[in-house]
Amino acid sequence: MKKITTSLYMPHEIEIEKIDENRVKIFTYPFQSGFAVTVAHPLRRLLLGSSAGYAVTALKIDGVTHEFDSIRGMLEDVSLFIINLKNIRFKIKDDSNKVEVNYSFTGFKEIKGSDLDNESVEVVTPDVHLATINEDAQLNFSIIIEKGIGYVPSEDLRDNLPEDYIGVDAFFTPVVKAIYSIENMLVEDDPTFEKIVFDIQTDGQIPPIQAFKESIEALNEQISIFSKAMDIDVSVPQDDYENSVELKKLLQDVEALSLSARSFNCLDRANIKHIAELSLMSELELKGLKNLGKKSFEEITSKLEALGFPVGYQFEEGFLKVLNKKLQELKSQAGDA
């Protein structure tokens, strides 16, 4: 029997079932009737479109001038080679957003994804077939791998290609499956409550739980514009700020960014000890640090962006007060030591 209420029932249960390394099921409940699909549908779209992954964006093969060419001694023509290459999924091993990798194969061999694994990239689909070459073949090729989101067709990449490179359709998203179902459940004698069951699978570039977290963050960021535009008070209690994961990240020493020795030494000489101090700076202030070169600036800004707090980040007023207070406490402790 339905009761009269004055506020929405808040779901409070979540369960995670790990199917394998790249697949999970997530159960969330209970939602009032009709609200499960309101939450689930945008999350599914963001799962498929907002998670960053890696893809081959360009290919260069010695002796090949276009994608409809053929290669002496290779069973596949170039167009089939490209199709197979798109099915091989890579991860760049460092924090770079772009890398060029060179390969060379000779003699009879079935080339698989595992053969492309090296010091620069990791192949997460090692068993995927790329090409078969005979004993007289010489296959030399280079690929460019980039980090991105969504899908970018090769036509949009052509203007920025290096000489002799062929553009490759780039499927960046690491999520290969994101589906949900909605089940009815009983809550306090009301059978109209709902449960969301997400089934998420990735290609191995990132864990499915990470993809799910990123989609939630993306949804919050997209919706936050309405709070700002309508001047809605979404302030968080100070205790929540002080116990937040974000605050703990920002109060870490700069060593946690794993910067190069050149960049770290420059910050050390400027007496910058914590990540928060960098995020609170403007780009102009950071560039103005003594002996900070262009490469160090790019490295630091890239690391901060990956952490989610880029240089010049606009913090909420309440969070900013707590952050500054904690920074002063840390500096006072360091001074006493």
Class for domain 53-171, per CATH? Answer: mainly beta
Distance CA 120, CA 140 (A): 17
Domain with residues 238-336, CATH architecture:
Orthogonal Bundle (1.10)
Beta strands in the chain (DSSP E): 13-20, 23-31, 53-61, 90-92, 98-106, 109-112, 121-123, 129-133, 138-148, 151-152, 166-167, 170-171, 175-187, 190-202
For residue 194, how far is the Cα from the chain centroid? 30
- Is the alpha carbon torsion for 138, 139, 142, 147 positive or negative? negative
Residue 319: band (very low, low, confident or very high) from pLDDT cuts 50, 70, 90: confident
Task: Return d(Cα 227, Cα 137) in angstroms, integer.
Answer: 62
What are the tens digits of pLDDT across the range 140-195?
A: 999 999 999 989 998 998 888 888 899 999 999 999 999 999 999 988 888 889 99
Task: Please enumerate in sequence order all residues whose Cβ is within 8 A of that of 245, keeping only pairs 6 or more positions apart, or say none.
Answer: none
Record the tokens describing residue 34, joined without a space: 């009709």
Ordered DSSP codes for 249-279? HHTSBGGGG---HHHHHHHHHTT--BHHHHH
Average pLDDT for 241-255: 83
Arithmetic mean of pLDDT, 58-77: 90
Q: 28 pairs with which residues across the strands?
A: 14, 196
Half-sphere exposure of residue 270: CA atoms within 13 angstroms, side-chain side: 20
- 6 or 19, which is more confident? 19
CA angle at residue 19 from 13 to 23, to 5 degrees?
A: 90
CATH 2.170.120.12-classified regions of the chain: 53-171
**Residue 257 tokens, joined:** 């960014």
> Which pLDDT score is estimated for 207?
93
pLDDT of res. 30: 92
Say if pTM beats, i.e. exceeds, 0.85.
Answer: no
| Comma-separated ranges of CATH 3.30.1360.10 domains in the chain | 13-51+175-229
| Stretch(es) of the chain classified as CATH 1.10.150.20 | 238-336
Distance CA 77, CA 71 (A): 6
Residues 6+ apart with CB under 8 A from 52: 147, 148, 149, 172, 174, 214
CATH number assigned to the domain covering 13-51+175-229: 3.30.1360.10
